[in-house]
Structure 1
Amino acid sequence: MSTTHHPGHGTSSVSAGIQFASMGIVWGASFLFMKVALEGASFGQVAWSRLVLGALALGVVVLVTKNRLPSSPRVWAHFVVVAVSGSVLPYLLFAWAEQYVSSGLASIYNAVTPITTAVMATLVFRVEKLSRAQVLGVIVGILGVVVIIGPWRFAPTAAAEGSTVTELAGQIACLGSAVCYGFTFGYLRRFITGRGVSGVTTAFMQIGLGGAIMLLLTPVVALGEVRLTLPIVLSLLTLGIVGTGFAYLWNINVLLTWGPTVTSTVTYLTPIVGVALGILILGETLSWNEPTGAALVFVGILLAQRRLRLPRRRMADATTVAS
């Protein structure tokens, strides 16, 4: 979520801390909720429910807070792109992928988003220029993704097994979701940030238009048999109303209070929650390469977001000053 508000306006630091933790837990748990929901609903129905329920929740907030919607048709057109790239496509891809990969692994791929965001912001939208350390961060992050995939596990002999092929397809779909998110953040920065659209309105426009698109796609993605149990219903409701609705507002409140740099550290929390819940509740397991690759991705994120400096660069700067 990109807004141009100044940090410090908004909720208290304690309240921001509670909302930050809630956001990380709910977004981390969303991969568990998708996995549970898929036991009785198709991947399209899961994504459809998530967006429609999220749109309704945010619509109520917009009505109560009396936030104005944009009047410019061009801004609406930009938000349609954001809705497709930031909601419709990634939600469908993640839900489809979780038919073949563990919820924990899907949450790890979600953490690749800052790397894809850096690539998109630099190469596609040209809204940022990366330093040497940031370029290294992107390279390390990409290397981490390769380690997570573990291409050696998909040798021709292993690929003969259908499950191995579908797992690779699921991982590629997860990576596609992270690319969609990276594209969306770059697009927001390039075409919407600076137009005076409030954070609440931005959240509603993205999720609301995504929900409207899903309603139009109902015959394609949502029709079919549904087997509802209490865990499935609760998973869909929580995923939609809380994870896709209210969590976006928590994100905005934390952004206003703590600023974008600290807010973006939720990236580190969500995969920890996602992996832990997958292991504790679903009995999932991880191969050695998945947490190893995740660690490389996190190092890449630290470099790409300038939280980790290269000591050699400092020494070079000091030598330049001395000379």
Structure 2
Amino acid sequence: MRNQIQSYLLLTTLAAIWGGSFLFIKIALGSVTPITIAAGRIGLAALLLYMILRWKGLSLPAMGKHWIYIVAVAMLGNVLPFSLISFGEQHIDSSLAAVLMATIPLFTILIAHFMTSDEKMTAEKTLGVLIGFLGIVILIGPSTLLDLGKQTLAQLMVACGALCYSVTGILSRKLSKLPKLQCAAAILLVASAVIVPASVLLDQPWALKPDPSALISIGILGLLATAVAQLILLKVLDLRNASFLSLNNYLIPLFGVFWGVVFLFERPAPNTGIAFLVILLGVFVSQSGFMRFLRPAANA
């Protein structure tokens, strides 16, 4: 019972932290460029996790085929989504970006069909994915999708970030046998080796004039939302399993909207709430919840 309570508290804390990352990205964008935000976040997190690793007397994973997946996860789980979400939030509210993260389970189902041998599409999964993507159309707006203005492209960028996270979730299974902390540190170090030079070449960060709120936000994103959150994630996995951790997919958008409304005074459009519910319905149906819900009634 104690472990159950602890795991739920940690899961909620993790969702609150990750949901808040959209808020801090939005604040940092006031005076810092997207790639530099991603570079600062990943660089700080990599440094902190590597220091913890050395303090514990541990080392990075030995060289081997698994490093292919470490590099892939570094790119698809950190470099690309952190950059895409930051670019997207230049033109959309942080709360809207958070809602788009609810699509991760739907993308995962779709991609798993092609990348795995034991998670093929079923009728329920197909229906759920179709319902979920209808929610995305409602969220972005059918007419807006055809227009492809800045807001639409920004939302599509954030959706691509969610897609990256989905692919990462599947690829991460190839790393399940590696020690988790060493693996996490290796992934962030590889990601920082890519994104920091990219920031130097493309943004010339020394020429930027970040205000204090941007610097604090990047610090929070790196140390809390990436490094500490990773440690909490590892603790949750020690107490429960990956299925339990996936509940975060439903909590993060809620916290993201809450923080945006409270601290940035954002006012989500009416279609945002409707779209979120439709996306969640799609996830529910795709995970066979729909048939389980109907069976008792059918048997009554």
- TM beyond 0.5: yes
The more displaced of 79-88 and 116-125 is: 116-125
Which runs of 5 or more residues in structure 1 are unaligned?
1-7, 319-323
Is residue 192 of structure 2 the alignment partner of residue 211 of structure 1? yes
Question: Which residue number corresponds to residue 10 of structure 2?
Answer: 19
Matches within 5 A, 1:1-323: 12-153=3-144, 159=147, 165-189=149-173, 191-193=174-176, 196-224=177-205, 225-311=207-293
Task: State the shift of 1:192 in Å.
Answer: 2.7
User: Which piece of structure 1 moves more, 260-269 or 63-72?
Assistant: 63-72
Give the letter for the 2:269 counterpart: S
Residue identity in the other structure for 1:273: F
Q: Which moved further from structure 2: 178-187 or 60-69?
A: 60-69
- Distance across 2 between alignment mates of 1:140 and 1:267: 17
CA offset at residue 122 of structure 1?
1.3
- Bigger fraction of residues in helix: 2
Aligned-residue RMSD, C-alpha: 2.3
Distance 1:274 1:227 in 2: 27
Question: Percent of pairs identical after alignment?
Answer: 26
Q: Is the 8 A contact 2:36 2:203 kept in 1?
A: yes
For 1:187 and 1:295, locate their aligned partners in 2 and report how far apart those are by CA, in whole Å: 28
Structure 2 stretches lacking a partner, 5+ long: none
Task: Supply the distance in 2 between the matched residues of 1:302 and 1:221 (Cα, whole angstroms).
Answer: 42
Q: Deviation of residue 58 (structure 1)?
A: 1.4
Given that 1:48 and 1:222 are in contact with CA atoms closer than 8 Å, whether structure 2 keeps it comes out as no
What amino acid is aligned across from residue 188 of structure 1 in structure 2? S
After TM superposition, give the deviation of residue 303 of structure 1 in Å.
Answer: 2.8
Q: Please state whether the residue corresponding to 1:12 is helix, strand or coil.
A: helix
Distance 1:58 1:296 in 2: 38
Query: 1:125 touches 1:187 (CA, 8 Å); kept in 2?
Result: no
The answer (yes or no) to whether the contact 1:127–1:186 under 8 Å persists in 2 is no
Tell me the distance in 2 between the aligned counterparts of 1:246 and 1:309.
39
Q: Kindly tell me: are residues 301 and 205 of structure 1, through their superposed partners in 2, closer, same or farther at Cα, counting changes over 3 Å?
A: farther
Alpha-carbon displacement from aligned partner over 1:222-262 (angstroms, at most 9, x marks no partner): 41432233322221111011111110121121122122222
The structure-2 alpha-carbon separation of the partners of 1:67 and 1:110, relative to structure 1 and needing over 3 Å to count, comes to farther
Please say if residues 77 and 164 of structure 2, whose CA atoms lie closer than 8 Å, have aligned partners that are also in contact. yes
Q: What whole-Å deviation, never above 9, does each CA across 1:130-186 have from its counterpart, x for those lacking one?
A: 44322222221111111111122456xxx4xxxx71001101101110111111112
- Residue 149 of structure 2 aligns to a residue whose secondary structure is helix
How far apart are the structure 1 equivalents of 2:69 and 2:288?
A: 29
